[in-house]
Chains A and B, each alone.
Chain A
């Protein structure tokens, strides 16, 4: 079965650079979530979208923004990158709010 697709799998950036992470949800899933997981930490919710509208916002820095497009894929845009942004970034999708979320493989972002 098709799963959540994230790209790139790995990304290396320097401080103050920008990065864009992409997420393609499971077909027919209309809700997308972004999470950040630091080393030894649990996943922390950043932001979510339902039917292309932002539905909830968590601990997402102002330097980050995201959107969901007409084909339901989502992009997380990160600017003025800091060392502390180094983490695994997961995208998850669900068939509607409150439904089980299925995670992509994640993007490992390393800031040098």
Chain B
């Protein structure tokens, strides 16, 4: 079983729509959670960290549910420029380790 699971999509939504992605993780000891955005053949770009209390950055809202071991990303008022693959990432800190485990990514296409 992968450390991090995501619905690969694709999600095709009209401009202005609200879309939500979920991501589950397997290690209950995970401490740090992130959402990255990746455009085709480009590097992952940090979108936002995910905090226990939930956090918002403009049209983007991230939430963490430790009990159910999932994180979510909500995008409101979708723009064409939001079209990309969204990767959730979990940092599993065990003794001496601090790497990121990525989900397979969810492909979003915003349609005019």
- A interface, CB within 8 angstroms of B: 31, 33, 35, 41-45, 48, 50, 55-56, 58, 88, 90, 92, 97-106, 108
Once the chains are docked, how many angstroms separate the CA of A55 from the CA of B89? 19
Once the chains are docked, how many angstroms separate the CA of A41 from the CA of B102? 10
B residues near A102, Cβ cutoff 8 Å: 46
A residues near B96, Cβ cutoff 8 Å: 55-56
Interface of A is mostly: strand
A residues near B89, Cβ cutoff 8 Å: 101
Q: Which residue of A lies closest to B4 (CB)?
A: A42
- B interface, CB within 8 angstroms of A: 31-32, 34, 41-46, 49, 87, 89, 91, 93, 96-105
Identify A105's interface contact among B42, B46, B100, B104, CB under 8 A: B42
A residues near B49, Cβ cutoff 8 Å: 100
Q: Flag if A56 contacts B98 (CB, 8 Å).
A: yes
Report if A33-B100 is in contact (Cβ < 8 Å); known contacts: A102-B46, A103-B43, A105-B43. yes
